[in-house]
Amino acid sequence: MMISLDGKSRFKSIPPTLDSTHPKGKDKWEKLEKSKSGKGVGSAYGSEAVRKEVRKYHGYKCIYCEGIPVGVSRPRIDHFRPKDGVKDCETDNFKGYFWLGYEWSNLVQSCDSCNTHKSNQFPLDEGSPRIFWDEKSPFPGPEMRSILSAWLKQEKRLLLNPEIDKVEPHFRFTKDGQIFSHTKRGKTTIQVLKLDRGDLIWRRKRKIDEYYQKLIRILFGFESLLSNMNKESQEFAQFIFWNDLSMFFEELLEAQSPEHEFSRLGFYMFHEFEDFFLQREQDGFTIEKDLKDHAELVRNFYRYLLSLT
Ligand SMILES: [Zn+2]
């Protein structure tokens, strides 16, 4: 986690097989209503057609950890509000949000690990009501079932969802790939999804390392170019240096766009440039302390920042 995503556009493109007002989806919803339990939720929510539609918006990215599943594992379709009961639920006989079983806005793309860690957790803040379908009342229609409905919004949920929440203020990253939060919702979200698990920390750190190595190559390249040139040609070296750096900064900037893996970390790499790269100590070497042209690099970074405005 997490960078905010545009859920509103995705919610509008309901696949017909999940649409209760469409002939292709109607039967499923009727069956679900009659079942009055999670047992009525068939597997259509995870069909290839649904996955394909989700991919149009999120590629192969897990919306929770922002990782792209590697190897043979492929993203799963997760029920944001769990369909089969809720862990530590304060409401007696709560059967889960099964009545959201095919609700398009309640389905998100998640990796195996986030899906497994989350399982049936859906904690609410103290004193929050738990919303459920009272079987004596009519089955909730599409407007009530929408994740944006006033009915569901009565729940003070602690688990953040990047498709509907502004998630950025809740998460911070360190240059070692750790994630942390200062807010109750952020902390709960990290805990529920285990966003501080070892493999994620390692993958995030690897990403930072990759950029650091690129930067180091540019800097050493510049140094060796300067030492081999006469005065007139040094201007040319400066020009190449500026070009290489601009490309590097552009890539760094690009790393924070939502379609990239760990894009929120991308934001930190760019905005915490000094902390993430200049003050980083690796093998006893720190750019800020040990590199002759460090000042030039900082100048160029701010020159680049200015060029964006
Ligand atoms: Zn994940």
- Rounded CA separation 183/186 (Å): 5
Residues with CB under 5 A from ligand 1 (ion): 62, 64-65, 111, 114
Task: Give which of 223, 248, 250, 249 is closest to 237, Cα–Cα.
Answer: 223
Cβ(106)–Cβ(147) below 8 Å:
yes
- Per-residue model confidence (pLDDT) at position 109: 95
- Per-residue model confidence (pLDDT) at position 61: 93
Secondary element (H or E) of residue 79: strand 76-79
What is the overall mean pLDDT for the chain?
91
> 98 — phi, psi (to 5°)?
-60, -30
Share of the chain above pLDDT 70, in %: 99
- Rounded CA separation 173/268 (Å): 7
CA of 307 to the centre of ligand 1 (A): 35
pLDDT tens digits for 121-133? 999 999 999 999 9
pLDDT tens digits for 271-301? 999 999 999 998 899 998 988 778 888 888 8
Quickly count: other Cβ atoms within 10 Å of residue 98's Cβ: 23
CA of 304 to the centre of ligand 1 (A): 33
CA of 118 to the centre of ligand 1 (A): 10
Cβ(301)–Cβ(270) below 8 Å:
no
CA of 87 to the centre of ligand 1 (A): 20
CA of 187 to the centre of ligand 1 (A): 16
Q: Average pLDDT for residues 169-196, to the nearest whole number?
A: 96
1 confidence band (pLDDT: 50, 70, 90): low
